[in-house]
């Protein structure tokens, strides 16, 4: 088994305003997905990041410049991640496909952890 990181990308901003009923439905869907990953023993971890653009640090003229994120050319940010295990990229992508994040307008970047 290999480990993969699913980066959850989303558009900058707060997204559509949902009613409490809709928020609950979405929450339940994500929970059910995470529960299934846990039951299959695949879920290695996960976190959600605060819904703000963050900061970007880069070296500039011998010192470090700190600017508001995200990178200037992008309109999206990483909203969180799940770490899962799978046999290969194919399986990792199939798993990512089942994540409700895609259904709600987000994008997922799948990356394999470095193995020795």
Partner 1 sequence: MSEHGGTDLLVEGLFRREAGRLAARLTRLFGPARLPLVEDVLQETFAAALARWPIDGAPERPAAWLAAVARNKALDRLRREVREQPFDEALFDAMPITEEPKADLDDTLALMFVACHPALGEDAQAMLTLKTVCGFGVNDIARAYLTSSDAVAQRLVRAKADIRKLGLTFEIPEGGELAQRLPALLQAVYLLFTGGYTAGEGEDLIVAEFCVEALRLAELITRHPATATGEAHALAALLSFQHARASARIGNSGELLRLAEQDRSLWDRELIARGFAHLQEAMTARELSVYHVEAGAAAVHASAKDFDSTDWQQLAQYYAMLEELKPTAVVRLNAAVATAYAEGPQIALLKLDRLSGDRRMDDYALFHATRGDLLFKLGRHEAAHAAFGKALECPLSDPERAFIATRAKSCRRVS
Closest distance of CB 59 from partner 1, Å: 33
CB of 19 to partner 1, least distance (A): 2
Comparison of 27 and 98: residue with beta carbon closer to partner 1: 27
Q: What is the nearest approach in angstroms of partner 1 to the Cβ of residue 38? A: 7
Nearer to partner 1, 82 or 86 (CB): 82
The pair of structure tokens assigned to 92 is 């990792």
The backbone torsions φ and ψ at residue 24, rounded to the nearest 5 degrees and listed phi first, read -65, -40
Cα angle value 30/32/35 (rounded, 5°): 110
Assign 26 to helix, strand or coil: helix
Which tokens belong to 73? 């050319």
Strand runs labelled E in 23-106: 43-48, 55-60, 63-68, 76-86
Q: Which residue's CB is nearer to partner 1, number 24 or number 57?
A: 24
Nearer to partner 1 by Cβ, of 14 and 115: the residue is: 14
Q: How far is the CB of 76 from partner 1 (least distance, A)?
A: 17
User: Which neighbouring-strand residues pair with 111?
Assistant: 5
What are the residues binding partner 1 (CB under 8 A)? 14, 17-24, 26-28, 30-35, 38, 46-48, 51, 80
């Amino acid at each position: 088994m290999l480990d993969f990181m699913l980066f959850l990308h989303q558009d900058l901003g707060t997204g559509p305003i949902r009613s409490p009923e809709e928020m609950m439905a979405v929450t339940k869907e994500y929970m059910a997905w995470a529960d299934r990953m846990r039951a299959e023993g695949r879920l290695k971890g996960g976190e959600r990041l605060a819904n703000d653009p963050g900061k970007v640090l880069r070296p500039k003229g011998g010192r470090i410049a700190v600017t508001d994120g995200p990178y200037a050319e992008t309109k999206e940010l990483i909203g969180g991640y799940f770490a899962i295990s799978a046999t290969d990229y194919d399986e990792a992508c199939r798993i990512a496909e089942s994540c409700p994040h895609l259904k709600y307008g987000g994008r997922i970047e799948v990356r394999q952890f470095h193995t020795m």
